[in-house]
Amino acid sequence: MSTFVLAAAGLTLVVLAALWLALRRADVAPDVDEAASNVRILRVQLAELRAERDAGTIDAAAFEASHAELQRRVLAEAAPAASASGGRSLRGAMLLLLLAVPAIAAALYALLGNRQALDPMLAQPPSQFSPQDVDAMVERLAERMKADPSDADGWQLLGRSYMAMQRFDAARDALAQALQRQPGDAQLLADLADATAMAQGQDLLGEPEKLIAQALHADPDNLKALALAGTAAMLRREPKAAADYFERALRVAPPDSPYVSGLQDGLQQARAAAGLPPAPAATTAPRPVNAQVPAAAAAPGPASAAQSAAAPLAVQVTLAPTLAGKVREGDTLFVFARAAEGPRMPLAIARQAVGPGTRWPVAVTLDDTTAMAPQFRLSGVARVVVGARISRSGRADPEPGDLEGQGAPMAPAGSAALTIDRVR
């Protein structure tokens, strides 16, 4: 987020979504081993159901109804989660599933703060669900919401799914529908702020700030809203206010959350910018809070990641000759780097105008000054993947017709060369 700071904890850059309509209530995330076992059982049941249909034991209507229900249950079991405000179990399903299917290169965001809950899902075979399966499920959910628009949980799930797929305009619209049906819901307000920031070019200022303020009015301890508020304050050059938000976020963050170190880093930077002494070792409140962090916030990389790797990453972007005729006047080139492992949110991003007269290759430098949020930087991860995209609309979220290219995992400093060689 270019300046999208979206990153929970300044984290405005991260909320992914829970996958199709497994809308169930739970105050505590289910045991992941049990969930994985349940997924396998449900998949067997799906196979048995298809066999009954093929054998003529059940008719088409009964099959469709049972198939839809089992599919929702599979998706529900695939990802434990819970919102900071309501205890819904819809917090991370989509993201966790996407993380389990690395082939979905479109996923960019959203993540829950529970590394223990994620790891077992990451171990699941990526072949369980193909990118086409996920896309089809999302589209089916969208169709169901058109047929029954009164389901607020369904709209929220759809919005988070779109966030995971980088379809930020669609995510914003779906979350707005959910909020209309559940006005004043703090988590929905925070999610909508995140999506709106991404849809308007990764900018937290303006409408996203208003939504963040409403979220904190409804729930002063909402982790995502606090993280986004801190990041927005840094963008406004109000480091003292940012430090206050980050401190509050740390007090409600689960002690084992992978975002704690990023929040602590953001707090120290905010205090330094405000001329305040470093904060003592941050502590978190003893009570666990199952809260979701922004899609606008990247999870920190391994603690051992080269924190000294502050050197810039020089990127040379080339356009494949076969695509030269597809670049139009007014197009925008985005060059970004994201962590090789974890959320697909960019840690650093640069943009510039391109057109038919652009001379390739184009040289771009990515470093900690181009970070989406000050506490989530290139120097905070061990390896990154560099990508480039030429956008017709000028928006950061990918759209059909965009020209794309991606490199292989590499160190977050040095030089990289990649070629834009495909059409989205």
Reply yes or no on whether the pLDDT at 388 is more than 90.
yes
CA distance linking residue 214 with residue 219, whole number of Å: 9
Residues 414, 350: Cα–Cα separation, whole Å: 16
| Cβ atoms 12, 4 nearer than 8 A | yes
> Has residue 174 got a pLDDT over 70?
yes
Identify the residue with better confidence: 261 or 303: 261
Cα separation, 110 vs 121, in Å, equals: 15
Banded model confidence at residue 155, pLDDT cuts 50, 70, 90: very high
Q: Minimum mean pLDDT among 100-114, 231-245, 314-328: which range?
A: 100-114
Q: How confident is the model at residue 101 (pLDDT cuts 50, 70, 90)?
A: very low
Report which of residues 415 and 85 the model is more confident about. Answer: 415
Question: What pTM was computed for the model?
Answer: 0.46
What is the Cα–Cα distance from 62 to 49, expressed in whole angstroms?
A: 10
Express each pLDDT in 211-243 by its tens digit: 999 999 999 999 889 988 988 888 888 889 989
The residue among 266, 399, 408 whose CA lies nearest residue 337 is 408
| CA distances from residue 20 to 69, 72, 79, 108 in whole angstroms, order as listed | 10, 6, 11, 18
Tokens read off for 67: 């198939």
pLDDT tier at 331, thresholds 50, 70, 90: very high
Prior bond of 374 cis (ω within 30°):
no
In angstroms, the CA 80 to CA 388 distance is 33
Reduced 3-state DSSP string for the chain: CCCCCEECCCCEEECCCCCCCCCCECCCCCCHHHHHHHHHHHHHHHHHHHHHHHHCCCCHHHHHHHHHHHHHHHHHHCCCCCCCCCCECCCCHHHHHHHHCCCCCCCCCCEECCHHHHHHHHCCCHHHCCHHHHHHHHHHHHHHHHHCCCCHHHHHHHHHHHHHCCCHHHHHHHHHHHHHHCCCCHHHHHHHHHHHHHHCCCCCCCHHHHHHHHHHHHCCCCHHHHHHHHHHHHHCCCHHHHHHHHHHHHHHCCCCCCCHHHHHHHHHHHHHHCCCCCCCCCCCCCCCCCCEECEECCCCCCCCCCCCCCCCEEEEEEECHHHHHHCCCCEEEEEEEEECCCCCCEEEEEEEEECCCCCCCEEEEECHHHECECCECHHHCCCEEEEEEEECCCCCCCCCCCEEEECCCECCCEEEEEEECEEC
Higher pLDDT pick, 60 / 205: 205
Q: Regarding beta strands 384-391 and 403-406, do their DSSP bridges make them parallel or antiparallel, or are they unpaired?
A: antiparallel
403-406 sheet: strands from edge to edge: 346-354, 331-339, 384-391, 403-406, 422-423
The pLDDT of residue 233 is 87
pLDDT band at 19 (very low <50, low <70, confident <90, very high): very low
pLDDT of residue 257: 66
Q: Please say whether the dihedral angle defined by the alpha carbons of residues 401, 347, 95 and 4, taken in this order, is positive or negative.
A: negative
Is residue 418 pLDDT above 70, yes or no? yes
- Mean per-residue pLDDT for 117-134? 45
CA separation for the pair 80, 28 (Å, rounded): 9
Tens of pLDDT, residue by residue over 259-269, are: 677 778 778 88
Average pLDDT, the chain: 70
- The tokens for 163 are 């966030």
